[in-house]
Amino acid sequence: HMRKSPLHYRYAVDAGPDPSLAQKLAMFRAVHTLVLEPFQFTEEYVVYDGRRDKRTKAYQQFLSEHMGKTVLNVAEHEQALAIAEAVTDHSWVSELLCDDNTETEVPMVWDDLIAGPCKGKADILHWSQEKGLIVADLKTFNTTDGKQIARIGSQNGWPLQFAHYL
C-alpha cells in the first residue's frame, strides 16, 4: 500500500484486514497447503457444496460444525487440486519435495545490519552437495505467460523478498 501512497497505507492500517480478500485468496492458500503440507489439508480446509451465504441456516450450521477451517466451494477445491497436481507432477519439483534434504515451510529468523531483526518462512529449503542450496517460494498465478508473471512478481516485490531471505 505504501508503494501507492502514504494515504493508501494509512487507510489499509486503519481499515484492517479485508475479509473478502481472505476468501478470494483461499484457493491460492489451499494450493500452497496441498503442495507443501498435503497432510494438513483436511485439518485446515473444508468444501461446501452450496451457496456460501451466512444468512442461511444451512451455511451457518456448516460453519459452526467446521469452526476455524477455511471454506472452499467445489470449483475452488477442484481448481486447487488441479494446480497442485500440475506442480507436483513436474519431475524437478516432485524429486525435490521427496528428497530427504528438503524441508518445507521453514521458519527463519536473522538480524540484518540495516533492517534489524527479520523473519520469514521459506516454502522450500534444500541443501545437498549434489544440488547446493535451493530456496524456493511457491506462487500461484492465473496465467502461464512468463512476461506477465515477471511483471506481477516485480509489482509485488517478490525478487526483493527472495533476496532478503537469502
- Cell numbers given for 32: 500452497
| pLDDT tens for each residue of 25-72 | 899 999 999 999 999 999 999 999 998 888 999 999 999 999 999 999
| pLDDT tens for each residue of 13-36 | 888 877 677 777 899 999 999 999
Query: Contact at 8 Å (CB) between 45 and 72?
Result: yes
| pLDDT tens for each residue of 76-89 | 999 999 999 999 99
pLDDT at 8: 87
What distances in angstroms separate CA 146 from CA 51, 68, 149, one per listed residue? 35, 36, 5
Q: Which of 110, 132, 111, 108 is nearest to 122 (CA)?
A: 108
**Residue partners of 147: CB distance under 8 A and separation at least 6:** none
Half-sphere exposure of residue 129, counting CA atoms within 13 Å on the CB side? Answer: 0
- Neighbour count for residue 80 (Cβ, 10 Å): 25
